[in-house]
């Protein structure tokens, strides 16, 4: 019985490791200062996603059609630092995080969601956008155009 349990746990662990290697993932940071530091280290622009992840339909569509796709994740892992500044209605956040996110929304003049702001590691705005139809490949092309200006 114990041997069977050990074998099952080992098998499950190996399966999870194999799945993790096969599926790409990316990290959305929530700390602005950390994103700046990493952007400086890697010499990459930052994509700031101002979102209402649990209530904004266009934010949800942008996430499912673009940000959660393998093609975007692969592109982002090589070319961007991702920063998610969320303004949820039902997801709890610390008061400090809420205050910080509100201050950044004010700093960048955010009027609606989703707003995507591209900045360099010196916090200078490069360009901004929002939801775009066409899926991940089209969005990546759009981002490349915005970053080249």
CATH of the domain at 117: 3.40.30.10
Nearest residue to 118 (alpha-carbon basis) of 62, 80, 77, 91: 80
In a domain, 75, yes or no: yes
In a domain, 36, yes or no: yes
Of 112 and 26, the structure prediction assigns the larger pLDDT to 112
In a domain, 65, yes or no: yes
Range(s) of the domain holding residue 106: 25-148
Nearest residue to 130 (alpha-carbon basis) of 31, 41, 32, 61: 61
In a domain, 114, yes or no: yes
In a domain, 19, yes or no: no
Rounded to a whole number of angstroms, the CA Rg of the chain reads: 18
Calculate mean pLDDT across residues 130-147: 98
In a domain, 73, yes or no: yes
In a domain, 98, yes or no: yes
pTM: 0.83
What confidence category does residue 10 fall into, taking pLDDT thresholds of 50, 70 and 90?
very low
Condensed to tens digits (0 to 9), the pLDDT of residues 11-58 reads: 444 344 344 444 456 799 999 999 999 999 999 999 999 999 999 999
Quote the pLDDT of residue 26: 74
The structural domain count of the chain equals 1
HSE-up of 78 (CA within 13 Å, CB side)?
8
In a domain, 84, yes or no: yes
């Amino acid at each position: 019985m114990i041997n069977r349990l050990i074998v099952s746990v080992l098998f499950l662990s190996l399966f999870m490791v194999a799945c993790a290697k096969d599926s790409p993932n990316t990290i959305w940071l929530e700390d602005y200062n950390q994103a700046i530091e990493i952007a400086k280290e890697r010499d990459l622009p930052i994509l700031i996603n101002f979102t209402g992840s649990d209530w904004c339909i266009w934010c949800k569509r942008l996430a499912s059609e673009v940000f959660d796709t393998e093609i975007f994740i692969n592109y982002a892992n090589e070319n961007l630092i991702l920063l998610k500044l969320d303004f949820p209605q039902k997801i709890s956040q610390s008061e400090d995080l809420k205050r910080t996110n509100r201050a950044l929304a004010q700093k960048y003049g955010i009027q609606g969601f989703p707003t995507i702001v591209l900045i360099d590691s010196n916090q200078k705005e490069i360009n901004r956008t929002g939801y775009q139809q066409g899926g991940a490949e089209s969005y990546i092309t759009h981002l490349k155009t915005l970053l080249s200006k």
